[in-house]
């Protein structure tokens, strides 16, 4: 296969267009919101289930496409998605957003009313993107969601957000870094949309507490799971290493994603700790997760510990706990590599960028229909023909391209 020049803006713009063409306009449900389950060829295999993560990420996709390409259809789709968030996902009594809905003939029934900070982070991201797309009403919605998260999830004594609450806002004991990572992303975008310093303050605090304070508890690396006092929980989901939102083990994709976020934070509020931490996290991801035989970064690796796992050994030894390849891990890693290359001037990061892109272009990109496959086995073979179940709308892949365009 002849590879394009991944350092040319046109290559990335063409790829975004090709990916968007898979979803738009086929994803738009005229009765409300977006269809969220697609086979490889674009066939919709579940027209009724609506997940908050997909609903918000579709707003991101269309708002970004509108700003880049100025096609009014993307702005219409952005407004269409925001209306579904406001009128269907949102509970006007509690202020919460339904995690999962059944939507049929213009009527919704709630399948899961659990309140997730992860979900609200994407609500913030969607409203911030709406503002930047010119949807003025989204300014009030963004402030409202900030207040909601502040009231129900923010724990000032820890400087981090709690993770999950019942429909009536009773907090559950689990604490996780993933929700805080995406909250940091959302707050950075909210700052860019509004220039309100509170969002930048919060993004900086989240980044510092997760990538410095919490890593000190786990061999200077980012662990995913904690108890209500933000102490490491080594056992959480240990038998569920493929969990879509809370897998066991270290997540190299999150190392890369944090590296990217730290460099975005540095643009707005530079501090001496940010670049060294970004470089360290990216280096650990590539060192411990790159598959030298088949290419690509594996999904997860875990510490080698004697049972019972009550403490981390001084010298960290790790082994792959999930050799599958996930689309978003490759996308976030190539974005981080490009940002590090531009920031440091080191050629080695451009080499990493090329290596990851080449792997993804050959194995993950569907050059016929558009979009990326979601998950491959360790040997790069496919599991199924379900390209985009709920949660995956190629927000990671197109978002990576937009981020790289910022530095090319």
Q: pLDDT tens digits for 309-325?
A: 555 555 688 899 999 99
Write the DSSP string, 249-297: SB-HHHHHHHHHHHHHHHHHS--TTHHHHHHHHHHHHHHHHB-TTT-SB
Q: Is the dihedral of CA 176, 184, 23, 375 positive or negative?
A: negative
What values do phi and psi take at 368, rounded to 5? -85, -55
| Better-predicted residue by pLDDT, 34 or 312 | 34
Dihedral pair phi/psi, residue 180, rounded to 5°? -70, -35
Distance between CA atoms of residues 295 and 68, nearest Å: 32
Place 48 in a pLDDT band, splitting at 50, 70 and 90.
very high
When pLDDT is cut at 50, 70 and 90, the band that residue 243 belongs to is confident
Query: Which pLDDT score, from 0 to 100, does residue 306 have?
Result: 52
Task: For the chain, list the domains and their CATH numbers.
Answer: 9-407 (1.50.10.10)
Mean pLDDT lowest among 171-185, 205-219, 313-327: 313-327
- Three-state DSSP state, 222: coil
Q: Are the C-beta atoms of residues 135 and 82 closer than 8 Å to each other?
A: yes
Does residue 74 have a pLDDT over 70? yes
Residues known to be catalytic: 254, 396
**26 has pLDDT over 60:** yes
Is 43 strand, coil or helix? coil
3-state DSSP call for residue 177? helix
**For residue 358, is pLDDT > 90?**
yes
Summarised one tens digit per residue, pLDDT across range 93-149 is 999 999 999 999 999 999 999 999 999 999 999 999 999 999 999 999 999 999 999
- Can you tell me whether residue 326 is helix, strand or coil? strand
How much of the chain, in percent, has pLDDT values that exceed 90? 94
Average pLDDT over residues 232-251: 89
Higher pLDDT, 187 or 311: 187
Q: 267 to each of 144, 186, 262, 353, how far by Cα in Å?
A: 27, 15, 9, 21
Cα 69 versus chain centre, distance: 23
The residue-averaged pLDDT of 223-233 equals: 97
Dist. CA 50–CA 345, nearest whole Å: 43
274 Cβ contact list (under 8 Å, min separation 6): 207, 262, 263, 265, 266
| pLDDT average, residue stretch 257-273 | 98
pLDDT value at position 188? 99
Asked if pLDDT for residue 303 goes beyond 80, the answer is: yes
Is residue 270 pLDDT above 90, yes or no? Answer: yes
What's the chain's average pLDDT?
A: 96
**Per-residue b or e along 193-204, where b marks 16 or more CB atoms closer than 10 Å to that residue's CB:** bbeeeebbebbb
């Amino acid at each position: 296969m002849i590879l394009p020049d991944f350092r040319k803006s046109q290559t990335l713009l063409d790829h975004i267009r090709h990916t968007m063409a898979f979803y738009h306009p086929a994803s738009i449900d005229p009765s409300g919101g977006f269809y969220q389950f697609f086979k490889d060829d674009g066939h919709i295999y579940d027209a009724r289930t609506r997940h908050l993560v997909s609903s918000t990420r579709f707003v991101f996709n269309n708002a970004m496409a509108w700003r880049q390409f100025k096609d009014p259809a993307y702005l219409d789709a952005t407004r269409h998605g925001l209306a579904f968030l406001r009128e269907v996902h949102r509970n006007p009594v509690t202020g919460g957003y339904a995690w999962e809905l059944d939507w049929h003939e213009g009527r919704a029934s709630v399948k899961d009313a659990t309140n997730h900070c992860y979900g609200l982070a994407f609500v913030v991201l969607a409203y911030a993107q709406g503002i930047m797309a010119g949807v003025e009403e989204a300014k009030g919605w963004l402030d409202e969601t900030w207040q909601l998260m502040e009231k129900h999830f923010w724990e000032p004594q820890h400087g981090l957000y709690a993770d999950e609450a019942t429909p009536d806002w009773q907090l559950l004991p689990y604490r996780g870094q993933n929700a805080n990572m995406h909250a940091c992303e959302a707050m950075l975008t909210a700052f860019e949309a509004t220039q309100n310093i509170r969002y930048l303050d919060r993004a900086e605090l989240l980044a510092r507490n997760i990538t410095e304070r919490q890593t000190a508890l786990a061999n200077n690396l980012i662990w995913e799971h904690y108890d209500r006092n933000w102490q490491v929980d080594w056992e959480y989901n240990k038998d569920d290493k493929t969990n879509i939102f809370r897998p066991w083990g270290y997540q190299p994709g999150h190392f890369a994603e944090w590296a990217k976020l730290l460099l975005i934070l540095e643009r707005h509020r530079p501090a001496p700790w940010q670049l060294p931490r970004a470089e360290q996290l990216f280096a650990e991801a590539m060192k411990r997760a790159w598959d030298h035989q088949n290419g690509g970064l594996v999904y997860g690796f875990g510490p080698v510990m004697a049972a019972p796992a009550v403490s981390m050994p001084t010298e960290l030894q790790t082994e792959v706990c999930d050799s599958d390849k996930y689309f978003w891990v490759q996308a976030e890693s190539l974005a981080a590599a490009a940002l590090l290359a531009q920031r440091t001037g080191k050629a080695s990061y451009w080499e990493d960028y090329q290596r990851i892109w080449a792997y993804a272009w050959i194995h993950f990109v569907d050059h016929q229909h558009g979009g990326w496959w979601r998950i491959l086995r360790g040997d790069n073979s496919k599991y199924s023909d379900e390209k985009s179940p709920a949660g995956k709308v190629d927000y990671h892949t197109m978002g990576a391209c937009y981020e790289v365009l910022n530095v090319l």
